[in-house]
């Protein structure tokens, strides 16, 4: 796992090894293909408000999140306060003063917060993520809101050209059963191109039919999840010429809520 030094955007470098049918079946039957990944450790994520990014204010932390993630305050102190240390994705430590004050009283990060905001160039609409790992260490990440990208100059190699080159190299490696390396950014696309083997394995044995009802989880802006209900309206290849008999987006679906119009009409079986 890596993080961009300028934006803190997380991405992964992965080496992919093409496998033949025999090796694939062996992997699906192995412990790797049967064991589900553990859920992540405790965390909370908040979309920043204008007040959170003000140089004169602090970061307001929801009460439940503060009690779940931060060490407990000593309420015999007036006001209750403590120093927090959190490391970002580059292993750089950041110090904050956590205090419980105000009217009504609330949890705030004060001293050190404005320095973090200005250094990371955070704006209202961006999100901050606090994680307490299995060692009870406090970790800190950011997620920037989607913003219009500036137009690239004509001297920059077009993305289409780069994609063609990457795909050609990958196709050549796959044809020769040779490993190849990719960089994967999960936020670059709403689709999960990398999924746990156990999740895929379980999906292969899921029986689906027309008219079947299902639920699907979508991540919200604050890194929570929301369930949407829908109905399977069709089953068939997304592209019968290039990807015949593929499970990739082979289900056509209709969504219950009128607000779900932004949801795509085709999903993969492991997503539901």
Predicted pLDDT at 33 = 53
Q: Which residues contact 170 (CB under 8 A, 6 or more apart)?
A: 16, 180, 182
Outline which parts of the chain fall under CATH 2.40.330.10. 42-143
At residue 139, the pLDDT reads 92
Q: Average pLDDT of 29-53?
A: 74
- State mean pLDDT over 31-47: 69
What pLDDT is stored for residue 154 in this prediction?
Answer: 45
Please tell me the predicted confidence (pLDDT) of residue 153: 44
* 42-143: CATH topology: At1g16640 B3 domain (2.40.330)
Question: Mean pLDDT for the chain?
Answer: 82
User: pLDDT at residue 260 above 80?
Assistant: no
Alpha carbons 230 and 8: distance in angstroms, whole number = 35
- How confident is the model at residue 205, as a pLDDT? 81
pLDDT at 94: 96
pLDDT of residue 224: 64
- Listed ranges 13-17, 37-41, 69-73, 263-267; the one with the highest mean pLDDT: 69-73
Give the full edge-to-edge strand order of the sheet including 251-255: 213-219, 225-235, 251-255, 266-267
In the predicted structure, residue 149 carries a pLDDT above the cut 60: no
Strand locations in the chain (E): 2-3, 10-16, 42-47, 59-61, 81-87, 93-101, 106-109, 127-132, 138-143, 180-184, 213-219, 225-235, 251-255, 266-267
Q: What residue ranges of the chain are covered by domains with CATH 2.30.30.1040? A: 206-272
User: pLDDT confidence of 189, banded at 50, 70, 90?
Assistant: low
CB 132 within 8 A of CB 138: yes
| pLDDT tens, residue by residue, 76-130 | 998 999 999 999 989 999 999 999 998 889 999 999 999 999 999 999 999 899 9
Confidence category of residue 34, pLDDT binned at 50, 70, 90: low
Question: What residue spans of 70-205 are helical by DSSP H?
Answer: 113-120, 159-175, 197-204
pTM: 0.68
Position 157 pLDDT exceeds 50: no
The answer, yes or no, to whether residue 161 has pLDDT greater than 80, is: no
Flag whether pLDDT at 155 surpasses 50: no
The mean per-residue pLDDT over the stretch 239-257 comes to 86
What confidence tier does 165 reach under pLDDT thresholds 50, 70, 90? confident
Backbone angles phi, psi at 186, to 5 degrees: -65, -20
Residue-level pLDDT at 164: 67
User: Is pLDDT at 207 greater than 90 in this prediction?
Assistant: no
Q: Among the residues of 49-147, which ranges form H helices?
A: 63-69, 113-120
CATH code: domain 206-272 is 2.30.30.1040
Q: Band the pLDDT of 160: cuts 50, 70, 90.
A: low
């Amino acid at each position: 796992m890596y993080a961009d030094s300028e934006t803190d955007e997380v991405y992964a470098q992965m080496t992919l090894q093409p496998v033949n049918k025999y090796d694939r079946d062996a992997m699906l039957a192995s412990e790797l293909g049967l064991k589900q990944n553990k859920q992540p450790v405790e965390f909370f994520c908040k979309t920043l408000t204008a007040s959170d990014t003000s140089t004169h204010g602090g970061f307001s932390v929801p009460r439940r999140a503060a009690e779940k993630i931060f060490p407990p305050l000593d309420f015999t102190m007036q006001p209750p306060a403590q120093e927090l240390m959190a490391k970002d994705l580059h292993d750089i430590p950041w110090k904050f003063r956590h205090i419980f004050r105000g009217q009504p009283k609330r949890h705030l990060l004060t001293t050190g917060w404005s320095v973090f905001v200005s250094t990371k160039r955070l704006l209202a609409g961006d999100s901050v993520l606090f994680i307490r790992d299995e060692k009870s260490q406090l970790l800190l990440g950011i997620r920037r809101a989607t913003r219009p990208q500036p137009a690239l100059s004509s001297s920059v190699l077009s993305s289409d050209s780069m994609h063609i080159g990457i795909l050609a190299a990958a196709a050549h490696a796959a044809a020769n059963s040779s490993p190849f390396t990719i960089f994967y950014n999960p936020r670059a696309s709403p689709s999960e191109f990398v999924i746990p083997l156990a999740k895929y394995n379980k999906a292969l044995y899921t029986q689906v039919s027309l008219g079947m009802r299902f639920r699907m989880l979508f991540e919200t802006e604050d890194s929570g999840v929301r369930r949407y209900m829908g109905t399977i309206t069709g089953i068939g290849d997304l592209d019968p010429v290039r990807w015949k008999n593929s499970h990739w987006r082979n289900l056509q679906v209709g969504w219950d809520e009128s607000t779900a119009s932004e949801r795509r009409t085709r999903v993969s079986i492991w997503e539901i």
